Copies of this chain bind each other. A is one copy, B any other.
Amino acid sequence: MSSSFATKFAIPEIIFGNGSINHLASCARGLGARRILLVSDQGVEDAGWVQVVMDILDQNSLECVYFNEIDSNPRDSQVHAGLEIYLAEGADVIVALGGGSPMDTAKGIGIIAGNGGNISDYEGANRIKRPLPPMIFAPTTAGSGSDMTQYSIITDVSRQVKMTVISRSLVPNISIIDPTMLRTKTEELIIASAVDALAHAVESYVSRLSSPFTDHHALQAIRLFVENLERAVEYRDPKALEQLSIASTAAGMSFSNAGLGALHSLAHSLGGMFDVLHGLVHPILLPAVMRFNMPHSLEKMAVIGRILLGPCPHSDEYAAEEGIHQLETLFKSLNVPTRLGEILPDPEVLEPICKMAVYDACTLTNPCDVTWEDLQSICKEAW
């Protein structure tokens, strides 16, 4: 019994399906809710979903206080503003409705409600010691995976850095995934979310902490992305949107437990300094990061390549390289920025971005060691 390698795998209880949001009240009651803090944002409100949720709670005699002051890259000050409402109103269960931003903010509120202090005290892995209030998350995008994961990403405004907080206790109790909510999203948001899910799947699949439990979900996510993206974006096909929702969930299960890599380190650093939509960084940087990592995870990159290309009788090198090329072609066809120069003002900013990124928690699980100079050459390749 001397060796003691152990891989951990934890996910929330999942309720999935069109109309599953109607189960929210009974789930909240099961967790002992009497007064719910509902965390969402203006976009979700405009689409009508906040009202839908408030009506469900009201019809089931559950009190609800509402917090929506959240940016697309949520800030430490917003976490603390939400916390004040949670405490002042005596809420007992947190419900997040939205994409990654409301969900990550809700996690931040839960951290401080249960543990005190400031959100920056918990940056990094496993620094949360006491339990959080019960949390139920209802994602309205198919991408962030935050409803599955141990991750919360919050911007520290004073340091201009996106902090990565990782802890088992950030997995919500219940995730209610209702794909009907995706139908009100813009094309840009569907793409940004789906590409984020793909990036989660690819990075966690080659991660140093990947396991048979996570690999399996990562590959399912990549397959579903390839099979459904076009129909979801072009025709807003409900069935394809549902499949993207499953892809995002599977990718979340994978990266929550296996970790990510250099792409997300860069995306967090970049998003901390420039307020860009997180998912739109990946079409620019994913191919370059994959090329950089290829020698260290050739076999797995070839598996990804063969999913992208279809059956491919060539060598692993060929399948891996052509797979990346195929991804680049796909990203170009989506009419989103594919060069870093399109979203950043000046190559001068790369040095501080990369110097910060190398300290992000995601760097630790990249399949090979990376220096800030490595990150800079990746960025230059993608400029």
Contact = CB atoms under 8 A, between A and B. Distances in A.
Interface of A: 1-11, 13-23, 52, 168, 180, 211-213, 216, 220, 243, 246, 249-250
15 contacts: A1-B21, A4-B17, A5-B19, A5-B20, A6-B15, A6-B16, A6-B22, A6-B23, A7-B16, A9-B16, A10-B14, A212-B243, A212-B246, A213-B249, A216-B220
Contact of A19 (B1, B213, B249): B1
Contacts of A246: 212-213
Given A212-B246, A220-B216, A246-B212, A14 B9 contact: yes
What does DSSP make chain A's interface, helix, strand, loop or mixed? Answer: mixed
A4 B19 contact: yes
Nearest to A11: B11
A235 to B, nearest CB: 20
A221 to B, nearest CB: 11
A17 B14 CA distance: 25
Contacts of A15: 6-9
A17 B7 contact: yes
Given A11-B11, A246-B212, A3 B16 contact: no
Contact of A18 (B3, B21, B22): B3
Q: Which 7 A-B pairs have the closest CB atoms?
A: A4-B19, A6-B20, A9-B14, A6-B17, A10-B13, A5-B17, A3-B19
Contacts of A1: 19, 21-22, 52, 180
A347 B5 CA distance: 51
Contact of A2 (B9, B19, B212, B249): B19
